[in-house]
Structures are given as C-alpha cells and as structure tokens.
Amino acid sequence: MSAAVSPVLPVYIARGEGSVLTDVDGNEFIDFGCGIGVTSLGHGNPAAIEAAIAQTGRFTHTLFGVTPYESYVEVARLLGEITPGEFAKKTVLSSTGAEAIENAIKLARAHTRRNGIAVVDHGYHGRTNLTLGLNYKAVPYSSGVGPRPGEIYRIANSYPYRDGLDGAEVARRGIAHLAKISGAENLACLVVEPIQGEGGVVVPAPGFLETLQEWCRSNGIVVIADEIQTGLGRTGKLYASEHFGFVPDLVVSAKAIAAGFPVSAVTGRSDIMDSIPAGGLSGTFSGNPVGCAAAVEVIRQLREPGFLARTQAIGERLRAGLASLQARHGVIGDARGLGALQGVELVDRDGDPNPEAFRRVSKSAADRGLLVMPGGSDGHVLRLLPALNISDALIDEALSILDASFAAL
C-alpha cells in the first residue's frame, strides 16, 4: 500500500449496519464519519441496496454516452427538482466529487470565455490536479507534486469564531481583493462550499454568501456551490445553500447521493450546462447504472415527509449536547454546525488551534467505541457526520463517550 493512503482509524471493517461499524475483531464503533458523509442513510440501507442489486441483475454498465438508460435521466430530473433555484436546469453525471468540480469549472469557463477561478480560504475541493490548486492547504495535497494550476484567486472566508466580522463585510473585502488581484472581467466562476467541511465545519456569518452572489451576478461570474459534503440532506435541508438564501448557478453533488456507490453530478442553469459540445464531458464510469439506481432511491427517501425534520432534530440534540460539553471542557473553543454536520473546535490556553487535543480525544473516543472525523486547516476540529437518521440513543451514547474522552484529556 502506498504511503499516500492513511486511515483515520486503522481498524479493518467487517460489517456496517445503520450507524454501527463492526471490525474484524468484533469491536463496534458508532459511526460519526459515514465515510466522510457518504452513507447518510446508514450502512446497508435496505431499499437503496435492493435497488442496486436489482440493477446489478439487469446490467452493470453500458456508458450513457454509448447506449443510454433511464435511471441516469431520472437522477438528472430529480436533481433538477431538488437543487436550489427556480429556473430551467440540466445535469451531467460523473463518478467523484473532484471530477464534478472540474466539470463545473469547465462549463463556467466555456460559458463565460474567461479563465479565472475565485475560491475562499480553508476550502477543500478534491485531489485532482485542478482541484488541489483550489484547496487552501498545500500539505498534503499540492506540495511537491509539480506546478499548481494557475488563474486561481483566493479570498478570506467568513469564519465567525475567528474573525468576529459581519458576513457581508468579509465578502466586501474579498470582492475588493478580487477586483485588485484578478479583475471581475477575468473571472469565470466562484467555487465555494456553503458550509466548509474539511475546513472545520465553518458556517459563514449571514450576508457572506449572499453578497458574493450579488457581485458575481452583476459581473457575469458563474457561482458554483460545492455541496459535495453539505448536500443531500446533511445539514437538515436538501442543500445547505437553502439556509442562506444562496442560489448558485451550478450545484455540485456527490458523496451521499448513492448510498456508497460513486456518483457525482453538476446541476444548474441550462444555458451554462449546454456550453460544452457533445462528448466534452463524461468518462467511462460516469453515471454508472448501479449507482443511479441507488441514487433514485436515496433521493426518494430524503424527500419523504418528516425525513429532514428528523435530521434537524438530530442537529438540535447534538447542539444541545455539544454546548453542555463546551461548558464543562475548556479545550472546546467553539461548537457549531447545522443538522447532522457539526464541528467542535479545540483550542489551547491562548485560543490557538490545538491539534494535539484532537489526536488524543479522537483516539480516546475510538477506544470507547466512537469514530469521529478530523477537520480544520490545523487538524484541530472534531467533525461529526452521523447518519441523517441515527437514533437518539446512539447520539446520547456518542455524547457521553465524548464527555469521557474530554474528561480523560
């Protein structure tokens, strides 16, 4: 195995069921990672698995660009319905999140005939050559692997815990910066996560996304929302953009869309989506039919009455629990998040990022049977991504494991 792959928790998994992973030695872990927000309906979601098995029996691959099949069109139709924005939309499917981000950028560049890409600090968008240039962190993504792609312009994110600023003010400063270092007329697109995941579950202050959007609109810059981690119900809404009245031109979905099968998508304004000629997007495995069958079932469940209300209730229970942990444990500087995406920022006595505390608490939590994810550009944020339908009992157990782990620290 290449040294470039490194597990968060090196236990080998034998079985996943709902929100519990069992390793080959029979140890159980409450899964607050979901493979970074992928198995959002829980491991082994019966209806999604059944749909995938049924499709596997019919055919596993033809490639939509060779001989099409209906489930690809159905996923596109559903994404057109559930993504933000009341306008004519189209969709292109791919396999991974990074690939879909690249597709979105290609579409924006073809549509605008411009090259520049604006991104924000602490963002993460993937590990392909173009997307690693968009990422905030050089190590481990882009350092030492050759020249980084050009025409990428970075502005500060809105990070209320750290900057204490009004979101619109942060956006205005970013806009002034972009005007200087790029010029609006050079920018094809802005790529932004409505809530940053890898960056540490950073929820922007009100006004940040809206102000950026307004400026992009009035300057012909395509707004691309990277909802790879936040989309498909993760934050208690189908897309996190909805929390902010943010209406991107293109929305990128991936991770949770197909219950663990690799499907990703760009969905957005028809005129932008049609800017690349036939054959210009797609790849051998794009929109795999088994993944599409699962995706149709995942989206159906997300839209069931009461489903997202339950995810919001999970968010409230977690927030209440995390607030009480924060009151008891000084190492917790901030606890924040929406729905089933929560972050706990760990700090030292000076309020600086405390990655050592993360390492110790996450190890201690794993020893007690809870899997949590790292986050934050300094690896100092506990990132919690439970299933969107996890039980109250498991949430409470996870919170008490965290409490014990913080106490041990």
**Position closest to ligand PLP via CB:** 97
Those residues whose C-beta lies under 8 Å from the C-beta of residue 147, and which sit 6 or more positions away, are none
Structure tokens at 372: 């949590």
Residue among 35 and 206 whose Cβ is closer to ligand PLP: 35
Site string for ligand PLP, 235-254 (x = CB under 6 A): -------------------x
- Output phi, psi for 116, to 5 deg: -65, 145
Residue among 168 and 257 whose Cβ is closer to ligand PLP: 257
382 and 346 Cβ atoms separated by less than 8 Å: yes
**Which of 98, 332, 385, 387 is close enough to bind ligand PLP by CB under 6 A?**
98
105 binds ligand PLP (CB under 6 A): no
Closest CB 197 distance from ligand PLP, rounded Å: 5
Residue among 106 and 125 whose Cβ is closer to ligand PLP: 125
36 binds ligand PLP (CB under 6 A): yes
Q: Minimal CA–CA distance to 291: which of 253, 343, 248?
A: 253
State the Rg of the chain over Cα.
Answer: 21
197 binds ligand PLP (CB under 6 A): yes
**Which of 226, 249, 297, 334 is close enough to bind ligand PLP by CB under 6 A?**
226
Structure tokens at 249: 């031109």
**Which of 33, 42, 97, 260 is close enough to bind ligand PLP by CB under 6 A?**
97
Site string for ligand PLP, 253-292 (x = CB under 6 A): -x--------------------------------------
Residue among 141 and 406 whose Cβ is closer to ligand PLP: 141
Size of the site for ligand PLP (CB under 6 A): 15
Q: CA-CA distance, 261 to 255, in Å (whole number)?
A: 8
Closest CB 194 distance from ligand PLP, rounded Å: 10
Q: Where are the alpha helices (DSSP H) in 66-207?
A: 70-82, 97-112, 129-134, 160-163, 167-181
- Output phi, psi for 134, to 5 deg: -85, -25
Q: Where are the alpha helices (DSSP H) in 303-391?
A: 307-328, 355-367
From 135-143, 177-185, 191-199, 328-336, span contacting ligand PLP (CB under 6 A): 191-199
Structure tokens at 199: 């960056």
Residue among 31 and 198 whose Cβ is closer to ligand PLP: 198
Q: Minimal CA–CA distance to 115: which of 210, 211, 222?
A: 222
Q: CA-CA distance, 69 to 209, in Å (whole number)?
A: 37
Residue among 236 and 321 whose Cβ is closer to ligand PLP: 236
Residue among 93 and 399 whose Cβ is closer to ligand PLP: 93
Those residues whose C-beta lies under 8 Å from the C-beta of residue 225, and which sit 6 or more positions away, are 84, 192, 193, 194, 239, 241, 246, 248, 250, 251, 252
DSSP label of 135: -
**Which of 16, 42, 116, 126 is close enough to bind ligand PLP by CB under 6 A?**
126
**Which of 31, 102, 193, 334 is close enough to bind ligand PLP by CB under 6 A?**
193
Q: Minimal CA–CA distance to 357: which of 395, 407, 312, 285?
A: 407
Q: Which residues bind ligand PLP (CB under 6 A)?
A: 36, 96-98, 101, 124-126, 193, 197-198, 226, 228-229, 254
